[in-house]
Every structure is written in C-alpha cells, then in structure tokens.
Structure 1
Amino acid sequence: MSSAVAAGACATAFAMTLAACGSDTAAPTAGKNSSASAVASSVTQAAGPDATCPTAPPANPGTPQWTLPGATGSVAVTGSTDTAAPVVTVTAPFSVTATQVHTLQAGTGPVVAPTASVSVCYMGVNGRDGTVFDSSYQRGEPADFSLDGVVPGFQKAIAGQTVGSTVAVAMVSADGYPQGQPRAGILPGDTLVFAIKILSAN
C-alpha cells in the first residue's frame, strides 16, 4: 500500500537518541538546550538564532527528487525548501539490503566532518509501514547534536555533505536500530528513511 507522509505527528520526539542504537529507552528530545547553545557559538555558517524548520508540506510537491526501488516496496523523496517540509512517499513495506544516501540538493557551505556538531531539520519514516516516527519539522525547530553520537546511518547521510544540503538516506536496520526501538514503533529489521536539511556544522 502507498502512504504519503509529510509533517505527520511525531510519536516520540526521541529524535537523536539515534545514539542509543538498539535501546528501547526513551531518548531526550533534540531541541535547543544548554549544550546546543554552547555549540551554536562556534558553528560555521550557523543557521542563526531564529532558524526554524517549516512545518507544512508543499502545496504541490511536484516530481520527487529521489525515487528508490527497494528489495521490497519503494520510496520517493522530495526535500524541504525554505517554506515547506519534505515529502516522503513509501510503497510499503519498503526495505533495502544496503544503506543508500542521495543528495537532493547540494549546499554551498563547507564539508561536514564525520565528528562535527551539526544543526539539522529532519524527518524519520519507517519503511515497514510509511509512518513518521520522529520529525523536527513537525516540532518546527532544528535539532543540534554531534555526529559521533548518532546511529551509523545518520552519520553516513551527513558526513561528507556540504552545509546547506538537503539529503535523504534509506538505512538498513544494522545502521539504525537492529534491536528495534519499541517506543518509536520501530521493530528489529525495519528499514528507516530520513529526509535531512543541514543548517550548520562546526
């Protein structure tokens, strides 16, 4: 079945507990906090204090920027703009046998290092059923975190990209939550899809 998801309800806001790979414990939200503020003071091409993530999907998303047939199902992704959230359309169940990253639109900023601290807008979709399990777009504000503290698939998606880029990743369970993340509705073996906008990096 086909499920179009844009800025659907975020079930858990466990955002970048992506660090707790395989854990079913609740993760902290990835919104602005004191450590994030410290990072913000030294970022390169920072998003600025008023940076937000657009919450509404585009009125007419047009042709997807990335269409990926999977081992099962398929996914189509249109990245976010300054005024619209991304659109991820899943023909479920969608799965991949290897993690795949696609640059939807290249930015003009510096290259993001593998251990950089970044500020991003992102949407996470479960390939098994097409549901949005976490979205900073839904919350309307970026998430700040270090790439060496997230699941491997998220780091693979962002490291090596340029600041300002929009990217998408379809990650195998081993690069996400191999043991599942029950509080987010993620089961062992689930392929996860993320649409990401890189706002800044230090």
Structure 2
Amino acid sequence: MPKPAPDGGSVAAVKFRSLPSSFAFAACALSVAALTACGSAPSSEAQAPACPTAAPQNPGTSEWTLPGATGSVAVTGSTDTAAPVVTVTPPFSVPETQVHTLQAGSGPVVADTATVSVCYMGVNGRDGSVFDSSYERGTPVDFPLDSVVPGFQKAIAGQNVGSTVAVAMTSADGYPAGQPAAGILPGDSLVFAIKILDVTG
C-alpha cells in the first residue's frame, strides 16, 4: 500500500507481488517486436542459479536514488538470498535513460549482441507497480540482447557478468506505444533491477 511522502505525494515501496500468469512474459515482454524464440525456460542443468524470491529482511540504504523529471526512484539490488527493492515516488519519469551499476561483477564484459542469463524486476514509474519479475518466479531468463528493448540493452551491454544494475528508461527506450498486457501505457518510464548471471556469444 502506498504511504504518504513528505511532499504530500505517495511512495510505493515495491518488493514484488503476485502477478497473473498472463504477466509472466519474461524476455518476450522486453522485446518491441514479438520474438520468435524467447528462451525463457531455465537451464536443465542442476547447478543452474535461481533468482532469490525472498524480500530482504533489512534492505538498509538504497544503492541508487534518482530524482526524475517527476517523482523519484530508489533501488537496492538483489543479494544471494533476497530479491531487489525498488521504491518509487510516482509518477516517476525520466527525460533520458540512465543506468547505474549497483554492485560490480568480476566476470567477462557483456557484448551488445551477447545472449545473457539474468534475474530482473520491472517496475512501472507511473504507479510503482511491478509488471514482471523473474525474482517472483525464482528462475532466470535467457535472451539475446539484440532482441530486447533498447533500454534493457543499454543497461546490460558493457557490464561485467556478476554485476547488479538498475536502469530508468524513457518510454522511447521501452514501449513507446505501450504494452497493454503488462499495464504499460504510452509515455510510461520503466525501472529495472537486474542481476547478470551469465553470458554466451
């Protein structure tokens, strides 16, 4: 439930909530055009990592706070045992896409055409609602970076595997025409908290 902010607005503290199965569109939803193969199934290998589903017991200070053209957002990345926290003062919007490395990894650098395995949470800046979360499902998603919306590619390309990153993206770098199945309207700025697990290619 949103709580009043000091300026009279409201603050939506988003961990994650149950989403109808129709919203579990994973990497497919990140693509401006429908992908022919989404690769959203988790690896069959027993050692494949999982996305933590538990909310943090004490998230502490946010790792990234960003005032927008309207509203603001604060993000704390995931850990090995807890999902990220995205706190939105809505309506949040940004005039240009911004990326912030919450925790730097030490793995290889991700190329802009690589196929990646990630855990992620997507939040709508307009109202602070979670529209998709692999953390809720507990399983990572694999997809090629050249098949997702520009803002998601900007967040991951050039990062090191193992990094936790956040991106606040403009509607133009997300879904300019909206994404009705996810409740995304034209003009909505989106926020993602992402953990880069692995890369191929």
If the length of structure 2 is used for normalisation, what is the TM-score?
0.88
Report 1:27-106 matches (<5 A): 31-32=40-41, 49-106=47-104
Aligned position for 2:157: 159
Contact 2:27 2:40 in 1 (8 A): no
Change (3 A) 1:113 1:29: closer
Aligned position for 2:28: 17
Aligned position for 1:121: 119
Residue identity over aligned pairs, in percent, reads 70
Contact 1:18 1:176 in 2 (8 A): no
1:10 to partner: Cα distance: 3.1
Name the aligned partner's letter for residue 121 of structure 2.
M
Q: Deviations over 1:72-122 (max 9, x none)?
A: 000000000000000000000000000000000000001000000000000
Aligned position for 1:183: 181
Name the aligned partner's letter for residue 31 of structure 1.
S
Q: Helix, strand or coil for the counterpart of 1:175?
A: coil
- Whole-Å separation in 2 of the counterparts to 1:101 and 1:163: 16
Runs (5+) with no aligned partner, structure 2: 1-9
Q: 1:8 aligns with which of 14, 17, 30?
A: 17
1:49 to partner: Cα distance: 3.3
Residue 142 of structure 2 corresponds to residue 144 of structure 1: yes
Change (3 A) 1:19 1:133: closer
Contact 1:75 1:90 in 2 (8 A): yes
- Whole-Å separation in 1 of the counterparts to 2:97 and 2:63: 18
Q: Helix, strand or coil for the counterpart of 2:26?
A: coil
Aligned position for 2:168: 170
Q: Deviations over 1:42-93 (max 9, x none)?
A: xxxxxx7331000011000000000000000000000000000000000000
Q: Deviations over 1:99-156 (max 9, x none)?
A: 0000000000010000000000000000000000000000000000000110000000
1:16 to partner: Cα distance: 1.4
- Whole-Å separation in 2 of the counterparts to 1:30 and 1:86: 23
Name the aligned partner's letter for residue 120 of structure 2.
Y
Runs (5+) with no aligned partner, structure 1: 41-47
Higher RCO, 1 or 2 (CA under 8 Å, sep at least 6)?
A: 1
Change (3 A) 1:29 1:84: farther
Change (3 A) 1:145 1:123: same
Contact 1:55 1:140 in 2 (8 A): yes
- Whole-Å separation in 1 of the counterparts to 2:64 and 2:75: 5
1:32 to partner: Cα distance: 1.5
If the length of structure 1 is used for normalisation, what is the TM-score?
0.88
Q: Deviations over 1:14-52 (max 9, x none)?
A: 22124541x6x799876316xx67xx9xxxxxxx73310
Change (3 A) 1:192 1:28: farther
